[in-house]
Structure 1
Amino acid sequence: MTALPRGIRLAAVLLAGFFTAALPQAKAQELETGKTIRLIVGLSAGGGTDVTARLIAQQMSQNMGTPVVVENKAGGNFIPAAKEVLASPADGHTLYFISSSSLITQALHPDYPVDLLKFAAVAEVSTGPLILVAKNSLGVKSVKELIDLAKKNPGKLQFGAGGGIGSSLGFGIALLQNLANINISIVPYRGAGPALNDLLGGHIDAMVDAMPVMSIQAKEGKVTPLAVTGTKRAATLPNVPTMQELGFPTFVITGWYGILAPPGTPQSIVQKLSEEAAKAVKPADVVKTLGTQGMEPRGTKPEEFAKYMASELAFYSKIVKDANLKPE
């Protein structure tokens, strides 16, 4: 056999080394088949964020043939949850399932140690208003009656804030307090689930919550719905007015949910996850479930979600400044 010239042999060795080195990198551009995907939620189980995350996780698991599990890391103004994701490999197998609460927390805290805009945006999955409710035994049937009662009893009415003041739920209460010029007591909770339990048990008087859980409670007559925070009435509760209708034009809070990946996650993986998130909210049964919760499916592209988050952060930052809202 004729030996190859030395130069050709050297070139072949170099090319073989190049392709061998490139193989692990190419593999890292894709999700690892069968490896569990973790959805980190910064609130306790039972609230709107958790309920929606589990709905999406279940659907993604079915579609992808890969386990997608929800892990709750509640407390600390979402910082432990965010840091858990930041400390994980940027391989698409640890994701951050957030709500507008997470972004509002950043707007409320000038020294917040995490910038959500630096994460890799994957997709917004659903959107809807928040809802202001009172316990039935409080005896109020409207926002006006609630405000009048609060003014007659300064500092006595207790409002539960799922996730604390830094959440969208706590933000809604603080905004109501500021715009209506009332003095109320705000009771922080690690999530909306525990706050709801106390509301139903009569231990607190009112709360602002996301639609997925509270709209069902309202329809079943377990709480008294007073207003929603969107720009239009919720289809699932058409008789409940918006805060804008009631004379609060700047009282607009959207309760959306979305998925982020660690910074530096390969674009091919982000795109794949975004496509799977969009698929997860398309089935008729999922759309129906979201609808009964007062939510609308989204499934946006990464670049669209990134732009939306930036606009939302600017929007809430302006409200915080104009209303002079302070973190707890």
Structure 2
Amino acid sequence: MRKTLKALLGLMVAATAISATAQGYPSKPVRIIVPYAPGGTVDLVARVLAQSLSEQMGQPFIVENRAGASGVIGSDAVAKAPADGYTLLVQSPTLVANPLMLKNVPYDVVRDFTPVSMLGSVPMVLAANPAVPAHNLKEFVALAQADPKQYAFGTSALGSPMHVAQAAIKRSAKLDIPIIVYKGTAGAINDVLGGQISAIIDAIPSTYPHIASGKLKALAVTTKNRLPLLPNVPTVAESGFPDFEMVSWYGLWGPAKLPDDVTRRLSAETAKAMHSPKVIARLAPQSFVAAGTSPADFSRHITKEIALYSRVVRDANIQIE
């Protein structure tokens, strides 16, 4: 009987401690790890979120860029961090895709992270250097098939939705052109702007300013329907790749076993931030669709994405040594 009472007392103390932790959270600055170099869409979304959370929660939320190994280094740092809510991760579907494509990824997406909230999603666009003599994806494919040594794709990371989309197009069109991997979006876009590589598939927020200024030209969008932002640009599906559809989404994770109360608090504050007029005004011009979901809804989304990327990686035969 005494052992039972002692055990119950221990559970009550633990529950009280967790509740107190959540009530006092955060009591010091919080790091948000972005596992890529500055300048890409993941970085942009993380910084907009961090600013709002800082204002809402009364402590600094500081973005730390920790690039390398296609997002694995920064993501692994969060997986191994203390589960106290002071080290968080903003990532894309790359977190889901990497274990399907890369050998020896040091974490398990489901086991080693706590899903907090899906932040939102954006369409992607295939954009090329203006000197490339193609006005759409069909023409680009024809050029690359005729003279593959003259063309190359660039991508921000192995396993990113951009990389997977390019690999799927390559396989379907039987293109023999390389996909050059960079440490982040900024480097890839800079090389397309400079003509070192021909084209890139990337998220609208990163590419649209260059398209609007004429420094890049849009050849196709990856969504099911054309975008109001680029009404004259055909979809990939319209360009000879039936049923093709892929968007880039962004989420907030903590390490595994993040206390439930802290997770719920972070999720609620994140939803408030992502639907605030300030954040919507900042991201809506880039076709960003805000989400701010519950942890349970985000977990279900991750399960669906694992199934989707498993199928795409298998069908496109994407294998990375």
Q: Same fold (TM over 0.5)?
A: yes
Show the counterpart of 1:155: 149
Show the counterpart of 2:253: 260
Please say if 1:167 is aligned against 2:160: yes
Please say if 1:182 is aligned against 2:166: no
Deviation at 1:111, TM superposition (A): 4.7
Structure 2 Cα separation of the partners of residues 130 and 201 of structure 1: 21
Residues 199, 306 of structure 1: CA spacing in aligned structure 2 closer, same or farther, 3 A cutoff? same
- Contact kept, 8 Å, 1:39 with 1:71, in 2: the verdict is yes
Deviations 1:233-291 (A, max 9, x none): 22322222221122312432220011011110011111110111111111223212222
Return the match for 2:110 from 114, 117, 120. Answer: 117
Show the counterpart of 2:3: none
Structure 2 Cα separation of the partners of residues 21 and 101 of structure 1: 36
Structure 1 Cα separation of the partners of residues 248 and 236 of structure 2: 14
Residues 29, 236 of structure 1: CA spacing in aligned structure 2 closer, same or farther, 3 A cutoff? same
Deviation at 1:294, TM superposition (A): 1.8
Deviation at 1:295, TM superposition (A): 1.2
Aligned to 1:120, the other structure's residue is in SS state: strand
Deviation at 1:167, TM superposition (A): 1.9
Return the match for 1:275 from 263, 268, 284. Answer: 268
Show the counterpart of 1:11: none
Show the counterpart of 1:10: none
Structure possessing the higher radius of gyration over alpha carbons:
1
Aligned to 1:160, the other structure's residue is in SS state: strand
Indicate the RMSD between aligned Cα atoms, in angstroms. 2.2
Structure 2 Cα separation of the partners of residues 123 and 257 of structure 1: 9
Show the counterpart of 1:213: 206
- Contact kept, 8 Å, 1:100 with 1:254, in 2: the verdict is no
Amino acid at match of 2:145: K
Return the match for 1:245 from 238, 251, 274. Answer: 238
Return the match for 2:57 from 40, 51, 64. Answer: 64
Show the counterpart of 1:312: 305
Show the counterpart of 2:4: none
- Contact kept, 8 Å, 1:219 with 1:237, in 2: the verdict is no
Between the two proteins, what is the percent identity of the paired residues? 35
- Contact kept, 8 Å, 1:128 with 1:230, in 2: the verdict is no
TM-score, normalised with respect to structure 1: 0.89
Structure 2 Cα separation of the partners of residues 134 and 82 of structure 1: 30
Structure 1 Cα separation of the partners of residues 313 and 127 of structure 2: 23
How many aligned positions are there?
313
- Contact kept, 8 Å, 1:216 with 1:293, in 2: the verdict is no
TM-score, normalised with respect to structure 2: 0.91
Deviations 1:105-143 (A, max 9, x none): 223236533222221111111112211110011121110
Structure 2 Cα separation of the partners of residues 93 and 301 of structure 1: 19
Please say if 1:301 is aligned against 2:294: yes
Residues 153, 58 of structure 1: CA spacing in aligned structure 2 closer, same or farther, 3 A cutoff? same
Structure 2 Cα separation of the partners of residues 19 and 290 of structure 1: 44
Deviation at 1:31, TM superposition (A): 5.0
Which range moved further: 253-262 or 289-298?
289-298
Residues 28, 199 of structure 1: CA spacing in aligned structure 2 closer, same or farther, 3 A cutoff? same
- Contact kept, 8 Å, 1:31 with 1:93, in 2: the verdict is no
Structure 1 unpaired stretches of 5+: 1-14
- Contact kept, 8 Å, 1:143 with 1:226, in 2: the verdict is yes
Aligned to 1:28, the other structure's residue is in SS state: helix
